[in-house]
Amino acid sequence: MDMKIVSGGVCAAKGFSASGYHCGIRKNRTKKDLALILSRVPASAAAVYTTNLVKGAPLTVTKENLSDGIAQAVICNSGNANTCNDNGLEIARAMCTLAADAVGVKAQDVIVASTGVIGQKLDITPIAAGIGPLAAALSENGSAAACEAIMTTDTHAKEIAVEFELSGKTCRIGGIAKGSGMIHPNMATMLVFLTTDAAISPEMLKKALSGDIQNTFNMISVDGDTSTNDMVSIMANGLAGNEPVTAPGEDFETFMKALNTVNVYLCRSIAADGEGATKLLECSVTGALDTDTARTVAKSVICSSLTKAAMFGEDANWGRVLCAIGYSGAPVDVMKVGVTFRSAGGSVTVCENGAGIPFSEELAAKVLHESEIDILITLGDGNGSATAWGCDLTYEYVKINGEYRT
């Protein structure tokens, strides 16, 4: 069977339920702030974490809990990051215990996460009071509620699921994500929770996740800030009944393709929802010496504040793209570089062989007026390629972050 997109998010796969609830961490009573995801049976599990030296306490506890490659539930709050607190580990472990007791699993089989303001103590009281209603609300239709509960400055929900086949069995993988600011990863990014009913060993699951993020979540940048709480986790409970994936091969490649489809969708959703953003930017680099070179160039362009500002202003200032390529540190022959801007409004080539060429400013303005813009870069040095995602830099980004705590 061909892979296809299905509904259900993190509950699309067999044996998963989820819920979201307002327990009182956030002042806005209309906003859910506590999420729960549960697998009916213990699942293979893996996660990747931020490389920021300042890490939220939940990441430390989750890493401890996943040391055996098994998990069965996820508990996550928004509104407070539980980071840089002297009792952070205590609170994170207490969240695991509360969740475990509420749904009848082991505390060490709980993935815990927090997102929100850094440096403010997280009170366990509202979480303890809300865990009962949260567990009672668990539903196979609960993905949207859980997705809402993990959002902070996000303006829309980010969820997807796909269906595919392994060894003759229909499998599904789905996910929810949050992320709008402090998005500039180097191992993982934001908060992403993935679930699948495919049977796959913890070792191969970790291999799949660690490998895929190099081309997905590690290729996003909204603002150049690496968060303290970024994590991507996945649970695979095996209820699809496929022959377990325990080694590289055709089934593993199929699983990787499905995982990549979900992750690319979430990457684009996160980049498009960057704080204050009006445009999704996708930078595709081809003709690089190798993949690493292409990744370096693509990320440098996506991270360029001047390029991002030019895209906001709908200004085809291609010199800013070349500038970002030049300071990227990648081995590039600038005299071979070509740049094209493309969107639903058309396509306009603005640079060839490292130099500007005549182009229609009217067409360029039409191309850059769209909400999704492709920045296509050719390097002419080899066969390496890579894609990175980002967004424009707007006045609203400064406003949101200037008033974040207030």
Catalytic residues, by residue number, are 189
Say which amino acid occupies 105.
V
Interatomic CA distance for residues 172 and 318, integer angstroms: 42
- Give the number of C-alpha atoms closer than 13 A to the C-alpha of residue 187, restricted to the C-beta side: 16
Interatomic CA distance for residues 200 and 281, integer angstroms: 34
Closest listed residue to residue 1, CA positions, set 160, 171, 161: 171
Q: What sections of 316-368 are H helices per DSSP?
A: 318-326, 361-368
Interatomic CA distance for residues 188 and 57, integer angstroms: 16
Angle between helical axes of 318-326 and 291-303 (0-180°, round to 10): 130
Phi–psi pair at 296, nearest 5 degrees: -60, -45
Say which amino acid occupies 107.
A
326 burial (CB, 10 Å; 0-12 / 13-18 / 19+) is middle
First to last CA, the chain: 51
Interatomic CA distance for residues 331 and 342, integer angstroms: 25
Closest listed residue to residue 283, CA positions, set 340, 204, 359: 340
Bridge partners (DSSP) listed for residue 377: 285, 339
Interatomic CA distance for residues 111 and 108, integer angstroms: 8
Give residues with Cβ within 8 angstroms of 136, minimum separation 6.
none
DSSP string computed for 372-386: EEEEEEE--SSSEEE
Closest listed residue to residue 287, CA positions, set 318, 331, 323: 331
Task: Write out the two tokens for 9.
Answer: 């998010």
Closest listed residue to residue 211, CA positions, set 236, 234, 182, 184: 234
